[in-house]
Amino acid sequence: MNEFYDKHIKEHGKWFWNNQTQIDYYNFMKEKEFIKGDALRKDKDAREKTSGLVDIGLITEDRRITEVGNELLNIATKGNFRDNNKLNIDNDSYIYFKQLLKTSIKVNDNIVRPYIVLAKVLTEIGELSFDEFTYLLPLAISVESTKNIISRIKELRNNKITIVDIIYEELMQMDNYKLAYEHFINQKVSEDLICTVGINRKSRSYDKPYYNLYRRIKNVFLAKKYDEIYELYLASKQINQKPGNLWRKFLFKTTNANSIKKNGINNITEDCPFHGCKSEIDIKKIFFKYLHVFKAMATLSDYFDLNRRYLNLTETLVFEDQIVRFDLLPKYFFETCINNIIDIAFTEDNNLSKSISLQDISKGLVFNEKEIYERISKKLGTVIQTHEQAIMIPEIKTDKTAKIS
């Protein structure tokens, strides 16, 4: 970005981030082989490829490198990655760690710092499955909802509730979903009604295929027209992308069209809740629930890889075997301080672009060596009293050779 900035200033005499500059930046990235292919909207692609850096404070809205962005750039330029912090993470990762502690997003009317909420949840329950991380963690957007999600995850693990139930419960806390539900239950179902209650954020017309899906579900499960099961499958195929995949997995044992055409009712999942429907109201209640839960799940799953990519930059988390957990030192660091910093989890930090210390982010972010090392010693059955001892034990020691070389 700095190189492009210098080039732009040389050619134009001043900096501006408009559509033409964005196209020029896209072409510059392609010339430098940072990207391949040819985007249909180069300006949009350039904005999207840099928006994440804005979100975590490394560049400004008009794509100028910030104070903390320059600090990160200096580390990369000098190759000075060796850690000099108590968490035993590389210098660039330590900056990302501090940035994510500061980074907040707006969800409805709530401000939330996702990393701190994740730290709170992991401290309470130890680890998250990929599904819990993907579908449930993002629902923790306030003090109360965070407590609720922690409680719900515990219930989920005891088979007292499902992920679908938890998501639906959260959706139905919102007035627009309550109103849509009442409208759907009390009106005669039509394509227009489906499009109205679908609450599609792009265009209501995108929900038109759900009307045919509803009709086929009603005919198969209520009118027992099992000769329409293949038409039900075709209707589910009209639902695009991940929501369609979720509907097919929900309704059918297989997605093999020939098998569904041949075996009919035998290819409907035994535990499909539509089996027990006695009236159209029953059909409506279940259809509305899964219509919105599957949409929500599709949206949430889209963010998994991006969220993992950002979190991995901090070198504090481990993603493996379908589990998300803290590495050893970060785990005990947050165990000793999370209750002192949870008050900032739902606030915005005004120093996102600044290079500041942990204590400037929150006075509660203190690395209490004595307590942390005592906990690790107890966990590992050894004696650790100093940072030098800590980084030498196999469970903490990490190989930095690849990054340094």
Give 238-283 pLDDT, tens digit per residue. Answer: 999 999 999 999 999 999 999 999 999 999 999 999 999 999 999 9
pLDDT band at residue 403 under the 50/70/90 scheme: very low
Long-range CB pairs of 45-54, under 8 A, 24+ apart, other chains included = 46/22, 47/22, 50/1, 50/25, 52/306, 52/310
Instruction: Give the single-character DSSP code of 314.
Output: T
Tens of pLDDT along 341-385? 999 999 999 999 999 999 999 999 999 999 999 999 999 888 988
Q: What is the number of alpha carbons within 13 Å of residue 350 lying toward its C-beta? A: 0
Distance CA 336, CA 365 (A): 9
Asked whether 214 and 287 are in contact (CB, 8 A), the reply is yes
State both tokens at 296: 């929500």
- pLDDT for the residue 51: 94
- In the chain, the amino acid numbered 152 is R
Distance CA 386, CA 370 (A): 8
Whether residue 66 is predicted with pLDDT greater than 90 in this model: the reply is yes
Asked whether 66 and 353 are in contact (CB, 8 A), the reply is yes
Segment 140-146 mean pLDDT: 95
Spell out the domain ranges in the chain.
Answer: 2-65, 107-315
Distance CA 325, CA 132 (A): 12
pLDDT band at residue 78 under the 50/70/90 scheme: confident
Count other Cβ atoms within 10 Å, centred on residue 368. Answer: 15
pTM for the model stands at: 0.90
Instruction: Give the single-character DSSP code of 322.
Output: T
- pLDDT for the residue 340: 95
State both tokens at 235: 């209707």
The CA-atom distances, in angstroms, between 358 and each of 95, 130, 165, 330 are 10, 29, 38, 13
pLDDT band at residue 32 under the 50/70/90 scheme: confident
- pLDDT for the residue 299: 95
- pLDDT for the residue 397: 56
Could you give the angle at the alpha carbon of 296 between the alpha carbons of 290 and 300, nearest 5°?
Answer: 140
The CA-atom distances, in angstroms, between 277 and each of 5, 78, 281, 319, 393 are 63, 67, 8, 41, 59
Distance CA 5, CA 16 (A): 10
Asked whether 146 and 118 are in contact (CB, 8 A), the reply is no
Distance CA 272, CA 232 (A): 14
Whether residue 398 is predicted with pLDDT greater than 60 in this model: the reply is no
- pLDDT for the residue 402: 36
The CA-atom distances, in angstroms, between 238 and each of 160, 195, 244, 308 are 33, 15, 7, 31
Whether residue 288 is predicted with pLDDT greater than 70 in this model: the reply is yes
Residues 6+ apart with CB under 8 A from 258: none
Alpha helices (H) along 58-173: 67-78, 91-102, 114-125, 130-131, 143-157, 163-171
